[in-house]
């Protein structure tokens, strides 16, 4: 299918929205597994793609009541980690809130330090109501935490990747990716609205299915799943994430030439001639319409970029993404 992208750049500037997403991992019978959600097929943005739970940062994620409920991280520490002047903690909270809304998973602890579990059907049913209220914006997640006596445990939720949607997209996100162990005693249940399926899958299986054309993932997801595939256990993945140095932003660009519509990364030979404006280019290739090697990086035999990438970026491949020597990671940026 050919895709016509208007490069005249005469539209309105597309705002870049801050967003957060988290890879939740567990130890399965055959190795490390990650929680993946499938976006609604009718979504007007990356419909049908498999993604990590995540979405935009809301004002409620950075309200003053939040920080006193957080253990293991302060706003000052979070902001320094993200290289922001303030409100960095909101990205961690947004990732947790979106995971609760989209997948029904809520990494949290009771005031006594014990983890929140849904083994008790009474507790589980109560949190079904909480999830509905938060998802429908009838109440804030912080209100749920105050009512239930819960704490945000952020010390083991690691910042691992930073992607910005290419210029020209109809929607743009500045997305921070996190990695954390999945909460025990909870099962992912998709919301049947934004997402239509939730599953645990080994990273290697996701990559093989993607290479076969049966498991649609966008470049940031592919890059991070590939990095995650280098870890055999949750302990290995978290240790690699914790050891990461500063996380540089990945800012791909879109190029439309005789080779097709494709993504190019900083350091790639064609990067400087790719689109760098701030308006939407009109139509945007859907998940199944994207051609060129960069769209499919992560598939078996996909080409690797040959250009030099920014100093300090650990082992970046054709679509970017930090290789964690064993770990890494939606509003999906591309």
| DSSP state for residue 60 in the 8-state scheme | G
Yes or no: say if 25 and 181 are a contact pair by the CB < 8 Å rule.
yes
Mean pLDDT value across residues 11-34: 93
Confidence of residue 62 (pLDDT cuts 50, 70, 90): very high
> Please, where are the H alpha helices in the chain?
75-82, 89-103, 121-135, 141-148, 203-211, 219-228, 234-242
Is residue 21 within 8 A of residue 54, CB to CB? The reply is: yes
Which residue has tokens 């490069």?
A: 7
What CA–CA distance (Å, rounded) separates 98 from 152? 14
* Helix, strand or coil, per DSSP, at residue 93: helix
- In whole angstroms, how far apart are CA 26 and each of 86, 186, 232, 324? 32, 12, 10, 17
The model's confidence at residue 43, banded by pLDDT at 50, 70 and 90, is low
Cα torsion for 81, 84, 86, 91, to the nearest 10°? -60
Give, rounded to a whole angstrom, the gap between the first and last alpha carbons of the chain.
19
Please state which CATH number belongs to domain 16-245.
3.90.79.10
pLDDT of residue 109: 98
Query: For residue 47, what pLDDT band results from cuts at 50, 70 and 90?
Result: confident
Return the structure tokens found at 281: 């280019």
What's the half-sphere exposure (Cβ side, CA atoms, 13 Å) at 145?
A: 24
pLDDT at 69 over 50: yes
Distance CA(265)–CA(259), nearest Å, equals 16
Mean pLDDT, range 70-94, rounded to an integer = 97
Residue 70 has pLDDT above 90, yes or no: yes
> Is the CB of residue 168 less than 8 Å from the CB of residue 127?
no
Distance, CA of 23 to CA of 157 (rounded, Å) = 10
Q: CB of 291 within 8 A of CB of 260?
A: yes
Residue predicted with more confidence, 290 or 188: 188
Q: Please say whether the dihedral angle defined by the alpha carbons of residues 230, 231, 237 and 242, taken in this order, is positive or negative.
A: negative
Inter-residue contact 164 to 173 (CB < 8 Å) = yes
Domain boundaries along the sequence of the chain: 16-245
Q: Judging by beta carbons within 10 Å of its beta carbon (0-12, 13-18, 19+), is residue 157 exposed, middle or buried?
A: buried
Only one residue has tokens 């949750």, namely 234
Give the pLDDT band (50/70/90) at residue 287: low
Among 3-7, 85-89, 102-106, which is the least confidently predicted range?
A: 3-7
Residues 6+ apart with CB under 8 A from 240: 230, 231, 324, 325, 326, 327
The per-residue pLDDT for 136 is: 94
Under DSSP, the state recorded for 115 is: B
pLDDT value of residue 315: 35
Q: What is the mean pLDDT of the chain?
A: 82
Token pair listed for 43: 């979504």
At residue 3, the pLDDT reads 35
pLDDT of 5: 39
> Taking residues 93-109, what's their average pLDDT?
97
């Amino acid at each position: 299918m050919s895709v016509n992208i208007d490069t005249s750049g005469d539209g309105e500037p597309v705002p870049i929205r801050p967003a957060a997403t988290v890879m939740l991992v567990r130890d399965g019978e055959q190795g490390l597994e990650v929680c993946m959600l499938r976006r609604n097929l009718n979504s007007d943005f990356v419909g049908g793609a498999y993604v990590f739970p995540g979405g935009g940062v809301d004002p409620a994620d950075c309200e003053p009541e939040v920080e006193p409920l957080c253990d293991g991280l302060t706003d000052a520490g979070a902001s320094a980690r993200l290289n922001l002047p303030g409100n960095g903690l909101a990205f961690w909270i947004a990732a947790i809130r979106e995971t609760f809304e989209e997948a029904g998973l809520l990494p949290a602890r009771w005031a006594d330090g014990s983890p929140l579990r849904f083994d008790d059907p009474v507790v589980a049913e109560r949190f079904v109501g909480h999830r509905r209220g938060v998802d429908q914006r009838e109440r804030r997640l912080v209100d749920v935490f105050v009512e239930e006596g819960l704490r945000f445990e952020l010390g083991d939720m690691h910042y691992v990747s930073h992607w910005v949607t290419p210029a020209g997209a109809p929607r743009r996100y500045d997305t921070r990716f996190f990695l954390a162990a999945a909460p025990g005693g909870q099962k992912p249940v998709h919301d049947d609205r934004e997402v239509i399926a939730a599953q645990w899958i080994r990273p290697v299986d996701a990559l093989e299915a993607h290479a076969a054309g049966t498991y649609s993932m966008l470049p940031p997801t592919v890059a991070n799943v590939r990095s995650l595939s280098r870890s055999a256990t949750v302990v290995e993945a978290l240790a690699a994430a914790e050891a990461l140095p500063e996380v540089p932003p990945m800012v791909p660009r879109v190029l439309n030439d005789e080779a097709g519509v494709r993504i190019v990364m900083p350091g790639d030979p064609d990067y400087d001639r790719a689109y760098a404006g701030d308006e939407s280019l009109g139509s945007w290739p859907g998940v199944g319409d994207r051609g060129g090697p960069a769209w499919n990086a992560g598939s078996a035999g996909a080409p690797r970029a040959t250009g030099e990438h920014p100093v300090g970026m650990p082992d970046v491949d054709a679509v970017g993404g930090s290789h964690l020597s064993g770990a890494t990671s939606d509003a999906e940026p591309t």
